[in-house]
């Protein structure tokens, strides 16, 4: 294909991501000139209409930002309110929250690994098409995912927008016997997740190791979910309340999602790979061993291999959920008293796709004065664009449809959640001679 | 596998302003999704597949509300391409939580979230799909109940009316054997005026219903409000209770306005 020829690749609506987005790759004289991720998902203004709502409503309202990771929103909102009130949730209630988060990681990673990402590696349009040739594999994935949802149903009342979460804990703590059926499922899940890691390790990966600044929570005693300091491999180590001193959001014309950058260093990387690289030592011995056997000895720098990392986190989440259930003793009260009135609270938790930051100012009467929410996909947007700048040249000689598919895959590496980030994809490839 | 005889009916799933949760409910049918994909051709469902078959479509499921000029035009195109159009969830049936914008100056709201609101294509209001095009059936819930979603798809395949109850959450509480949280615990509950479908989960978890399935058929909101007032609930709290995930559904909207 001649460099003078004008080639346009269009994906007006990126598939197998959550939400509405497009991508624009401009190629000038055979070189990538410009890459834009466009999020055209219409804005919903959550931060604005949270003003004047009760602080107790924040978990239920912000859950509606995302149907794939509502628990993440609920957890960040609760932690922010509790931070404002100066209280901490401990013991069995804290363990139940961890269990619910494990359920969401399993549901979300199960969805992404098997239904959204795997078909790219095997050349299928969807998991449904893939199931025609790989039925057992897809069925295993669906069962894994279902177990995550079942945790949400037992503990949360339902899998999407669970009703049982409240600031301070839960409305009702399940009895130990309510969880009995899950125990055998979780044991099966541990075995199945291990098989998933092995299967993912055998997929074909392009060589694409890159330098990134990885950012995630880090906790002294555990693989991070709801608590910890915000750290990076470039020396960042801050309290959650210092987040806005180090990160800022930019509003750029072509997208309805704000771009989040590190003030001093620009783009950064959140999500499973960041957590894995910064917290490998906190994974269970079994998850560490499975990752090493899959070729990831504590470090993964190729975003295409994020599918393996998600599978490792699946294994960890199954083990952790089982640990919680086996040690569970029903708490005497399902929630503690929390009153953040007149205070400002900060919360950051590890959504399946990475750090989800919330900040609330609460008036003296308990009404929300102001709110700030930074979802993971906003934070990864610039990194996704940067990946495409570097990735496209390797494949620039491919026919349009193949190049397009590779670009889509490079984007899906991040499991972007556009519904979250609006506050994503057309591929337009333009060659300008 | 080829030669299945007659061609399958074509399903499309469309997204407007929403959280993706209602369409995710279809992918959450882990035990049924492969069978569903065998019974009906998944012709356009971007969250699940990059393969898009051209319209027209026999059945369109529409998630989300209309909040931009672009979407107001797109829903007309969807309607034109669809034999049956079914809206799924509180956003599509009542404008969703983002309909809270309908009570605010949207430009001022945009300036709260975005540094440069002039870049945005956004309407003053978030409205239900039925405010823009004729809708064949509305499935309620925030999110929808996935068993009800399967029932709606199944009913469509057999060209029968979906078996979706329009009575209140109270009936589901009785069926589930829940203790009434209003009577027993003095907890304000929207169950008496809210349509069933969730399985009365909130009362089952010791909290009051917060109305995510929207108003039931002929709800007596005045009577419920009187009861709440007798329990000591303030006007601002009554207003917020009605004006939430289905706050722009007519019965809830009207009741909320009485407490402004």
Q: ipTM of the predicted structure?
A: 0.95
The dihedral through the CA atoms of B137, B140, B143, B146 has a sign that is negative
Residue identified by tokens 């390797």 is: A394
Burial of B48-62, coded b for 16+ CB within 10 Å and e otherwise, reads bbbbeeebebbbbbb
B143 part of a folded domain: yes
Q: Give the gap in angstroms from C-alpha B218 to the nearest C-alpha of chain A.
A: 25
Instruction: Give me the DSSP letters along A363-394.
Output: -TTSBEEEEEEE-HHHHHHHHHHHHHHHHGGG
Say if residue B111 is in the same domain as residue B18. Answer: yes
From the candidates B1, B20, B188, which should be mutated to test the interface with A, based on the most A CB atoms within 10 A? Answer: B20
Q: Is A149 in Cβ contact with B28 (below 8 Å)?
A: yes
CB B65 within 8 A of CB B129: yes
Q: Is B205 in Cβ contact with A164 (below 8 Å)?
A: yes
Q: Is A66 in Cβ contact with B21 (below 8 Å)?
A: yes
Q: Give the gap in angstroms from C-alpha B239 to the nearest C-alpha of chain A.
A: 10
Contacts of A259 in chain B (CB under 8 A): none
Bond prior to B56 in cis (omega within 30° of 0): yes
- Pick from B107, B137, B157: which residue ends a domain? B157
Say if residue B56 is in the same domain as residue B110. Answer: yes
Q: Is A70 in Cβ contact with B21 (below 8 Å)?
A: yes
- Pick from B103, B125, B157: which residue ends a domain? B157
Interface of A with B in 134-163 (CB under 8 A): 135, 138-139, 142-143, 145-146, 149, 157-161, 163
Distance CA B258, CA B243 (A): 11
Which of A111, A132, A256 comes nearest B27 by C-beta? A111
SS3 B79: helix
B73 part of a folded domain: yes
Interface of A with B in 165-204 (CB under 8 A): 166, 170-172
pLDDT (tens place) for every residue of chain A, 433 residues total = 444 555 665 566 777 777 777 888 888 888 888 888 887 777 788 998 899 999 999 999 999 999 999 999 999 999 999 999 999 999 999 999 999 999 999 999 999 999 999 999 999 999 999 999 999 999 999 999 999 999 999 999 999 999 999 999 999 999 999 999 999 999 999 999 999 999 999 999 999 999 999 999 999 999 999 999 999 999 999 999 999 999 998 877 776 767 888 998 999 999 999 999 999 999 999 999 999 999 999 999 999 999 999 999 999 999 999 999 999 999 999 999 999 999 999 999 999 999 999 999 999 999 999 999 999 988 998 899 999 999 999 888 898 888 888 999 999 999 987 666 654 333 344 555 4
Q: Which residue of A has its CA nearest to B32?
A: A142
CB A85 within 8 A of CB A169: no
Which of A60, A159, A256 comes nearest B120 by C-beta? A256
- Chain A interface includes B22 (CB < 8 A): yes
Q: Is A423 in Cβ contact with B113 (below 8 Å)?
A: yes
Q: Where are the beta strands (DSSP E) in A133-195?
A: 165-166, 169-170
Q: DSSP state, A117?
A: I
The whole-angstrom distance between residue B48's C-alpha and the CA centroid of its chain comes to 20
Say if residue B14 is in the same domain as residue B70. Answer: yes
B56 part of a folded domain: yes
A-B Cβ pairs (cutoff 8 Å, strict): 191
Q: Is the whole-model pTM more than 0.90? A: yes
Maximum distance among all Cα pairs of chain B, rounded to whole angstroms: 67
Maximum distance among all Cα pairs of chain A, rounded to whole angstroms: 73
Domain extent at residue B130: 10-157
B225 part of a folded domain: yes
pLDDT in tens, B74-121: 999 999 999 999 999 999 999 999 999 898 887 777 777 666 666 667
- Pick from B157, B190, B222: which residue ends a domain? B157
Q: Is B98 in Cβ contact with A49 (below 8 Å)?
A: yes
Domain count, chain B: 2
- Chain B interface includes A55 (CB < 8 A): no
Integer CA distances (angstroms), A354 to A12, A108, A320, B226, B245, in order: 26, 12, 18, 45, 27
- Residue A293 CB partners (closer than 8 Å, separation 6+): A197, A198, A201
Distance CA A403, CA A414 (A): 18
User: Given its phi and psi angles, is residue B68 left (phi above 0), alpha (psi -120 to 50 degrees) or beta?
Assistant: beta
B203 part of a folded domain: yes
A290 DSSP β-pair partners: none
Say if residue B54 is in the same domain as residue B90. Answer: yes
From the candidates B23, B188, B205, B207, which should be mutated to test the interface with A, based on the most A CB atoms within 10 A? Answer: B205
Say if residue B98 is in the same domain as residue B203. Answer: no
Q: Give the gap in angstroms from C-alpha B79 to the nearest C-alpha of chain A.
A: 19
Q: Give the gap in angstroms from C-alpha A254 to the nearest C-alpha of chain B.
A: 8
Contacts of B1 in chain A (CB under 8 A): 132
Say if residue B27 is in the same domain as residue B147. Answer: yes
Say if residue B153 is in the same domain as residue B55. Answer: yes
CB A195 within 8 A of CB A189: no
Residue identified by tokens 């490792």 is: A312
Residue identified by tokens 């440069």 is: B116
Nearest of A75, A48, A46 to residue A61 by alpha carbon:
A46
B164 part of a folded domain: no
Q: What is the pLDDT of residue A6?
A: 56
Q: Is A43 in Cβ contact with B113 (below 8 Å)?
A: yes
* Phi–psi pair at A431, nearest 5 degrees: -105, 125
Contacts of A13 in chain B (CB under 8 A): 46
Contacts of A115 in chain B (CB under 8 A): 27, 48
pLDDT in tens, B137-179: 999 999 999 999 999 999 999 999 999 999 999 999 999 999 9
Query: The tokens of B11 are what?
Result: 């399903």
Neighbours of B39 (CB within 10 A): 13
Nearest of A71, A98, A82, A54 to residue A336 by alpha carbon:
A82
The CATH number of the domain where B94 resides is what? 3.40.50.700
Say if residue B173 is in the same domain as residue B50. Answer: no
Q: Report H helices in A6-134.
A: 46-49, 58-63, 70-85, 91-110, 118-122, 127-133
In this structure, whether the domain defined by A46-378 belongs to CATH 1.10.645.10 is answered with: yes
Say if residue B228 is in the same domain as residue B106. Answer: no
Contacts of A406 in chain B (CB under 8 A): none
The structural domains of chain A, with segments of one domain joined by +, span: 46-378
B5 part of a folded domain: no
Say if residue B153 is in the same domain as residue B203. Answer: no
Q: Is A43 in Cβ contact with B20 (below 8 Å)?
A: no
pLDDT in tens, A299-310: 999 999 999 999
B227 part of a folded domain: yes
């Amino acid at each position: 294909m001649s460099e003078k020829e004008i080639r346009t690749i269009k994906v007006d609506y990126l598939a197998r991501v959550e939400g509405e987005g497009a991508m624009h790759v401009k190629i000038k004289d055979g070189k990538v000139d410009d890459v834009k991720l466009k999020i055209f998902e219409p804005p919903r203004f959550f931060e604005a209409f949270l003003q004047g709502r009760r602080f107790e409503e924040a978990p239920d309202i912000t859950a509606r930002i995302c149907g794939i990771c509502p628990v993440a929103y609920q957890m960040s909102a609760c932690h922010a309110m509790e931070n404002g009130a100066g209280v901490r949730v401990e013991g069995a209630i804290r363990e139940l929250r961890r269990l619910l988060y494990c359920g969401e990681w399993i549901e979300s990673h199960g969805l992404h690994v098997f239904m959204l990402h795997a078909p790219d590696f095997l050349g299928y349009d969807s998991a449904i098409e893939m199931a025609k040739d790989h039925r057992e594999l897809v069925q295993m994935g669906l069962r894994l995912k279902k177990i995550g949802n079942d945790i949400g149903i037992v503990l949360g009342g339902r899998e999407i927008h669970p009703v049982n979460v409240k600031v301070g804990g839960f409305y009702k703590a399940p009895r130990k016997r309510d969880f009995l059926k899950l125990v055998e499922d979780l044991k099966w899940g541990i075995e199945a997740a291990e098989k998933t890691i092995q299967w993912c390790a055998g997929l074909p990966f392009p060589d694409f190791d890159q330098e990134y600044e990885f950012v995630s929570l880090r906790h002294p005693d555990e693989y991070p979910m709801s608590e910890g300091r915000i750290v990076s491999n470039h020396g960042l180590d801050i309290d959650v309340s210092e987040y806005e001193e180090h990160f800022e959001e930019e509003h750029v014309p072509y997208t309805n999602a704000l771009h989040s950058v590190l003030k001093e260093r620009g783009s950064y990387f959140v999500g499973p790979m960041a957590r894995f690289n910064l917290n490998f030592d906190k994974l269970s011995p079994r998850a560490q061993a499975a990752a090493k056997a899959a070729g990831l000895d504590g470090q993964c720098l190729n975003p295409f291999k994020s599918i393996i990392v998600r599978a490792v986190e699946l294994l960890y989440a199954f083990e952790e959920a089982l640990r919680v259930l086996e040690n569970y003793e029903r708490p005497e009260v399902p929630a503690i008293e929390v009153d953040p009135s007149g205070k400002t609270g900060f919360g950051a938790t590890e959504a399946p796709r990475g750090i989800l930051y919330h900040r609330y100012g609460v008036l003296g009467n308990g009404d929300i004065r102001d709110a700030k929410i930074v979802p993971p996909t906003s934070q990864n947007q610039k990194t996704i664009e940067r990946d495409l700048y570097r990735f496209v040249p390797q494949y620039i000689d491919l026919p349009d449809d193949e190049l397009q598919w590779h670009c889509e895959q490079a984007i899906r590496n991040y499991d972007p959640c556009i519904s979250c980030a609006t506050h994503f994809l057309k591929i337009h490839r333009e060659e300008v001679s | 596998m080829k030669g299945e005889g007659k061609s399958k009916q074509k399903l499309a799933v469309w997204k407007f302003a929403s959280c993706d949760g209602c369409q995710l409910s279809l992918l959450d049918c882990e035990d049924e999704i492969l069978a569903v994909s065998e019974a009906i051709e998944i012709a356009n469902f971007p969250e699940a597949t990059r393969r898009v078959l051209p319209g027209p479509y026999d059945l369109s499921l529409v998630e989300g509300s209309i909040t931009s000029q672009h979407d107001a035009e797109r829903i007309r195109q969807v309607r034109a391409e669809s034999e049956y159009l079914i809206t799924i969830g509180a956003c599509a049936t009542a404008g969703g939580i983002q309909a809270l914008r309908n009570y605010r100056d949207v430009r001022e709201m945009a300036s709260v979230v975005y540094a440069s609101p002039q870049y945005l294509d956004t309407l003053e209001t978030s409205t239900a799909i039925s405010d823009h095009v004729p809708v064949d059936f509305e499935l309620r819930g925030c999110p929808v109940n996935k068993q009800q979603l399967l029932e709606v798809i199944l009913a469509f395949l057999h060209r029968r009316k979906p078996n979706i109850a329009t009575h209140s959450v109270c009936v589901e509480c009785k069926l589930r054997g829940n203790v009434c949280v209003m009577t027993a615990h003095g907890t304000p509950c929207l169950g008496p005026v809210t349509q069933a479908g969730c399985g009365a989960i909130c009362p089952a978890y010791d909290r009051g219903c917060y109305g995510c399935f929207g108003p039931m058929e002929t709800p007596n909101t005045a009577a419920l409000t009187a009861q709440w007032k007798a329990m000591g609930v303030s006007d601002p709290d009554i207003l917020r209770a009605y004006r939430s995930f289905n706050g722009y559904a007519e019965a809830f909207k009207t009741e909320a306005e009485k407490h402004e």
